[in-house]
Amino acid sequence: MRRLQALGGVRLYPSWRLLQDAYSRGEIDPNALKDRMNRYLDHHVPVPLRAAFARIQPRLTQEEAELPITDEAAALAARTAARVDLPPEALRFALPSDESRWRVDALTARYLRLYLDRGQAAWPMPGRGQGLFSAARALLMRDPSLGKVERRRMEELPEDPDAALAFGLDRFRVAPRFAADYFRVHYLRMPGFVGALRYRDREDRGQGRLLREYLALRVLLEWAFAGPDGVFAPHPDLTGLAQAAAHVAEAEHDMADDLVLVVHRYLTADRYAVWLEAWEQTLDAHLVQSGEARVREHAVDAQLLFCIDVRSEPLRRHLEALGPYATYGCAGFLTWRCRHRSWRARMRTRAVRLS
């Protein structure tokens, strides 16, 4: 999650306002939140930093207000940013073409729509049988939205998609350790189309060919717009590190640099996970308690799960008429393993649905 957020700004957790609203409605138990904070401290914070982190963790978890950045905090953030071992979540990954991102995305989407068509369009994509990269490149050379300089740059790229990817890594001076991240950022820019291409590639047994051609198309457009001045150089998240340093500066810890990185990771992603897990823990406890109350009130000899298909209803009605049996409809698991827990038993067991 932290890597996705750093690479493409992807946020999978609920927003701060949504979490606070749930807390104010009593949907998040304060004790569950405290329990999750303690678990995080025990499992994700290095031992030498736990005492210092524990002192500021409640404020980091429960307050959104940003602290003013003092000169001391700014100096600490700059010193931390200068480290060579910065983790990915402390970096920001800007593409060389970010200033023209809307053009890259718009043109990529235009030709992906043409390529993914399956005969519904009145005019099929010319050259579609040659592959996504070749067909899109041929059309781009005649696209009126591109200037002469941009088309001339596109002519420099090799015609082979894999060679075009190597061209991009070389010309944008992508460090070997960031090569995979460079491609991941491009994937995250258009996740819907990437999912469709991945599905189509598996369907056609292309062994990843379509995804590589998608990347080659993005590199082609990136080179056209960014040119030789473009560089892919991940840089430290100075704003986030400065805010983390503002909290750490008050703690006055010997390992201040390491503590800044831990606090930065917590502020940018992990505290949202702590809140969400506390929310789920509260809901889980509520469901178990309400279920136990219903079982005590209406004791049954057996609980049976059936497919939600309407054809299961006659069998369910007959079973419930035979005795104290409770039936429930649920989505079919299609032989997938699942965990279940009975209302009376506290231990978790495994079960396999066979139909």
| DSSP summary character for residue 65 | P
Q: Is the residue at 355 inside a domain?
A: no
| Residues 256 and 304 both lie in one domain | no
Q: Is the residue at 93 inside a domain?
A: no
Residue where one domain finishes, among candidates 182, 204, 232:
232
Around Cβ 157, how many Cβ atoms within 10 Å? 21
Domain span at 301: 295-343
Closest CA to 217 of 143, 296, 119: 143
| Residues 216 and 178 both lie in one domain | yes
Cα(348)–Cα(24) distance, integer angstroms: 31
| Residues 169 and 141 both lie in one domain | yes
Q: Is the residue at 140 inside a domain?
A: yes
| Residues 286 and 299 both lie in one domain | no
Cα(140)–Cα(142) distance, integer angstroms: 5
Q: Is the residue at 73 inside a domain?
A: yes
Q: Is the residue at 91 inside a domain?
A: no
Exposure b/e, 92-114, CB count within 10 A at least 16 = b: ebebbbbebeebbbebbeebbeb
Cα(171)–Cα(212) distance, integer angstroms: 18
Mean per-residue pLDDT, 237-255 = 84
Exposure b/e, 163-183, CB count within 10 A at least 16 = b: ebbebbbebbebeeebeebbb
| Residues 334 and 212 both lie in one domain | no
Q: Is the residue at 95 inside a domain?
A: no
What pLDDT digit, counting tens, does each position of 15-51 carry?
Answer: 889 999 999 999 999 999 999 999 999 999 999 999 9
| Residues 284 and 209 both lie in one domain | no
Residue 293: pLDDT band by 50, 70, 90 thresholds? low
Q: Is the residue at 2 inside a domain?
A: no
Cα(299)–Cα(78) distance, integer angstroms: 64
| Residues 106 and 212 both lie in one domain | yes
What average pLDDT does the chain have? 86
With beta carbons less than 8 A apart as the criterion, state whether 320 and 327 touch: yes
With beta carbons less than 8 A apart as the criterion, state whether 299 and 325 touch: no
* Residue of higher predicted confidence among 211 and 98: 211
Query: What's the number of domains the chain is made of?
Result: 3
Closest CA to 263 of 244, 236, 240, 241: 244
User: Which of 175-184, 256-265, 286-295 shows the lowest per-residue confidence on average (mean pLDDT)?
Assistant: 286-295
Residue where one domain finishes, among candidates 232, 253, 271:
232
pLDDT of residue 84: 82
